[in-house]
Amino acid sequence: MDKKPLLVAIDTATRYAGIAVFDGNEVLSEAFWRANRNHSVELAPELVRMLSRQQATATDVAAVAVALGPGSFTGLRIGLSLAKGLATAQRIPILGVPTLDVLAFQHAEQRRPIWSVIQAGRSRICAARYERRRGRWRQHSEIHLTTVEGLTELITGRSLICGELGKAETTYIAEHNDQDIQFAIPSQSMRRPACLAELAWRRFERGESDDIATLSPIYIHPS
């Protein structure tokens, strides 16, 4: 039986790292872990191990997806470098996906608007509001580089908040905002690389790809 084409998804946007192997129907392998500043050391070996478990190598990869940010400058560069290296060596499409889109996508059954949140360092966060339109989540605000206090002021109306927020941060929001707010539980707040893979696969099936030479991270700077 011929092997199915594989898509590898890579996410190093924050202190967490993630990789998934997807064949269009099944998530064959997925790993996400707190890498802190060890992305460059841990990422490539983990990818090799994951492919090996599927009796696959880089030559079996038909496309590579990568989280584009916003996120850590260093983390984003490491993930994009690995993705570009794989795409160049194997002459396969590369597909970039905004980091905050992944968090919204993994709450497919949710009906209330979503605030996707990631840590941005120095007590800052990046956040954007998503609304469901014609069965798909679409970003419905600019990406805000702010603080937990700033996010608390931005939230209006019923919302689900998901992403990298600790107990102290969610408690602050709940105590200082009287809107109808729900918080995703920890297991639903991790960015799943499998969701990144699914988003990218949709583009891959449509024959889309990004320009490997010009694809670059999404960096958010203070206004």
Tokens encoding 168: 């102290």
Beta-strand relationship, 6-11 and 16-22 = antiparallel
CB atoms under 10 Å from CB of 79, counted, come to 27
102 neighbors 191 (Cβ within 8 angstroms): yes
Average pLDDT over all residues of the chain: 93
Whole-prediction pTM value? 0.93
- Over residues 151-207, the pLDDT tens digits come to 999 999 999 999 989 999 999 999 999 999 999 999 999 999 999 999 999 999 999
Q: What is the CA radius of gyration of the chain?
A: 17
φ, ψ dihedrals at 116, nearest 5°: -90, 135
Please determine, for residue 222, whether its predicted confidence score (pLDDT) is greater than 60. no
| Confidence at residue 135, expressed as pLDDT on a 0 to 100 scale | 76
Tokens encoding 56: 């696959």
Q: What is the set of domains in the chain, with CATH numbers?
A: 6-98+191-205 (3.30.420.40), 107-188 (3.30.420.40)
Please give the Cα distance from 140 to 128 (Å, whole number): 7
